Amino acid sequence: MQKTMTNKEYQSYVEKKTPNSKTGRNVLRAFLVGGLICVVGQFITNILKMMGYGQEQVSSVVTLIMIFLGALLTGLNIYDDLGRFAGAGSIVPITGFANSIVSPAMEFKSEGYVLGVGARMFVIAGPVLVYGISTSIVAGIIYFLLR
């Protein structure tokens, strides 16, 4: 029966199938890479805890190290290659936040150190801070009123 399919039918069949399997592949890659980046974070967390640091110090130092790594790997042109493979798996972790700062800043260095590097650093990080901090302030005020 398969052979009686016309070219057109086959094409629409392919079109129906491919987007799904492509999404499936992308999601699997995002899961694997995102999961692995978090395992690295957990590894640093476990080591710091073993060294006897308190909970708050640990979370600050882990964030610091992960951001350093994300920024360094972006500078070395490794993180963007990872991003092409992993999609959201490399965008969503905090290393991706560092990537979103370094990548445009490096790109626009030719426009100078103030409006090139200094301003472009915040093309994505700026909105993240605006919405993150504003949401936390609203949540804090509501918490204060309901307390």
Alpha-carbon span 70 to 35, nearest angstrom? 15
Whichever of 12 and 118 has its CB closer to other proteins, that residue is: 118
> Is the CB of 5 or the CB of 24 nearer to other proteins?
24
| Shortest Cβ 6–other proteins spacing (Å) | 30
Of the residues 39, 51, 54, 114, which one makes contact with other proteins according to CB under 8 A = 39
* Residues 127-146 as x/- pattern, contact with other proteins by CB under 8 A: xxx-xxx-xxx-xxxxxx--
Q: What angle do CA 96, 89, 61 make, to 5 degrees?
A: 45
**How far is residue 72's CA from residue 102's CA, in Å, rounded to a whole number?**
9
70 neighbors 90 (Cβ within 8 angstroms): no
Between 1 and 146, CB nearer to other proteins: 146
Q: In the range 70-89, which residues lie near other proteins by CB under 8 A?
A: 71-72, 74-77, 87-89
Contact 74, 102 (CB under 8 A): yes
